[in-house]
């Protein structure tokens, strides 16, 4: 992806092969591009999760990409194991360079169930990824399955897609596995990206696993 090609991101494809190809191509310049767009979500999410979990919590970074969220988790004070899964193998090679992950695996969040044991983690983050996952309820139930009761699931979704995909109703349907759903106000997402700017923001959803 060229740095000035923003339109694919706004469209938000849910075709796994297309998403993988774009992020494989983009991986070597992704961190620089996102920094130029003032991408804040990883740091904000890491701080939110640190307020909820102990420093030694075991965390799954779902859709970890090049590792920005993993690095933010360490910067927020997490000292326990962090595992990352992502669709893009080239991005995972970049993530490895951060030196924060215990394990990195190629996993498609649209292929369920996830290849992870029940109750394996204290928390799951999925930051900047749900745009590409049409079955929000399905993956949310999987996140709840792999997190121990009382743990946390933290996801983000664009505010426009939050409405279009009925996330409020989705949380109600998943109330048997997650509760205490806390939603942020819409926050700046990619303020330096001309297609997003102030027009498309992001909502953080923090949930407690039952």
- Taking the C-alpha atoms of residue 98 and residue 71, their distance in angstroms, rounded to an integer, is 7
Show the domains of the chain with their CATH numbers.
7-209 (3.40.50.150)
Percent of the chain with pLDDT over 90: 92
DSSP 81: -
What percentage of residues in the chain have a pLDDT greater than 70? Answer: 97
The DSSP element (H or E) to which 18 belongs, if any, is helix 16-36
Angle at 174 between CA 171 and CA 177, to 5 degrees: 125
Instruction: Indicate if the pLDDT at residue 21 is higher than 70.
Output: yes
- Per DSSP, 169 falls in state H
Q: Say if residue 186's pLDDT is above 90.
A: yes
Closest CA to 35 of 206, 210, 190: 190
Confidence of residue 5 (pLDDT cuts 50, 70, 90): low
Average pLDDT estimate for 162-172: 97
pLDDT attached to residue 9: 84
Nearest to 76 by CA among 122, 98, 44, 115: 44
Comparing 42 with 198, the larger pLDDT belongs to 42
Overall pTM > 0.75:
yes
Structure confidence at residue 4 (pLDDT) = 47
Residue whose structure tokens are 């292929």 = 111
194 pLDDT higher than 70: yes
Express each pLDDT in 86-142 by its tens digit: 999 999 999 999 999 999 999 999 999 999 999 999 999 999 999 999 999 999 999
* DSSP one-letter string for 51-92: TTS-TT--EEEET-TTSHHHHHHHHTT--S-EEEEES-HHHH
The neighbouring-strand residues paired with 106 are 86
What is the DSSP-derived secondary structure letter of residue 165?
T
């Amino acid at each position: 992806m060229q740095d000035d090609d923003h339109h694919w991101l706004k469209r938000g494809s849910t075709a796994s092969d297309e998403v993988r190809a774009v992020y494989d191509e983009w991986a070597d310049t992704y961190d620089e591009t996102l920094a130029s767009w003032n991408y804040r979500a990883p740091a904000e999410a890491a701080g939110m999760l640190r307020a909820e979990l102990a420093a030694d919590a075991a965390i799954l970074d779902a859709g970890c990409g090049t590792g920005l969220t993993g690095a933010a988790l360490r910067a927020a004070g997490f000292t326990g194991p962090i595992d990352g899964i992502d669709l893009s193998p080239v991005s995972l090679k970049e993530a490895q360079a951060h030196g924060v992950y215990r394990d990195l695996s190629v996993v498609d969040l649209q292929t369920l169930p996830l290849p992870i044991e029940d109750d394996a983690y204290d928390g799951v983050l999925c930051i900047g990824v749900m745009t590409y996952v049409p079955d929000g309820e399905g993956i949310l139930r999987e996140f709840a399955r792999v997190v121990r009761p009382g743990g946390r699931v933290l996801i983000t979704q664009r505010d426009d897609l939050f409405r279009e995909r009925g996330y409020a109703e989705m949380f109600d349907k998943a109330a048997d596995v997650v509760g205490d759903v806390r939603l942020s106000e819409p926050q700046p997402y990619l303020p330096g990206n001309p297609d997003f700017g102030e027009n498309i923001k992001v909502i953080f959803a923090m949930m407690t696993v039952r």
